[in-house]
Each structure stands twice: as structure tokens, then as C-alpha cells.
Amino acid sequence: RLLMGTAQNCCSIASFIAPLSTLRIVFEHRSAESVPFLMTMMNFFSSLSWFFYGMLIHDKFVYFPNGLGVLLSALTFSLFLVYPPPRLDVFK
């Protein structure tokens, strides 16, 4: 359980960090146009639901990576507020 839980947590955290790979481009162009909005939104809601479930069953392998996913998704959403794209293309 420890090995599989740790491996899955690493994969989950990597998927939450993926949208932040465009951070340099966002700061250079002062636009969040390169950030995938739909993926960020789905990561946020999925992580939020799994975080609450993990808290209900008291399983750190569920709530820890998903709590981190909620925070990282919220950070990514903040880019849309600070550097709004000229036109938000949700389905890109």
C-alpha cells in the first residue's frame, strides 16, 4: 500500500503541476492565454471532491495530494485574474 500510494501521489502531483509549465510564458506575455483553462477547472473540482472524500475516510494518500491539487489549481486560476487573456478560449 505504501509503495503504490506513493507512486500514485507522485503521478497526481505531476498532473497538478503540469499547467504551471507555461508560467514563464504567462509572465513574459502578461497573458494567461497559454494556460489550459478547462484542464485547470477540471483539476480543481476533481481535486476538491477527492480531498473532501479523503478527509471523510481519514486517508492521507487521498487527501494530501488532492489538497495540494486544490491549492495549485487555485494558484493557476489566479493567473487568469492577474493576467487575463484577451479572449478566453475554453476549448483549446
Write the pLDDT tens digit of every residue in 37-77: 888 899 999 999 999 999 999 998 899 999 999 999 999 98
pLDDT of amino acid 69? 93
Q: Which three cell numbers stand for residue 71?
A: 491549492
pLDDT of amino acid 51? 96
Q: Which of 54, 57, 16, 20 is nearest to 35 (CA)?
A: 20
Q: Where are any strands of DSSP class E within the chain?
A: none
Report phi then psi at 45, rounded to 5. -70, -35
Q: What is the mean pLDDT of residues 3-7?
A: 85
pLDDT, tens digit, 9 for 90 and up, residues 9-24: 888 888 888 888 888 8
pLDDT of amino acid 34? 87
Number of residues written out for the chain: 92
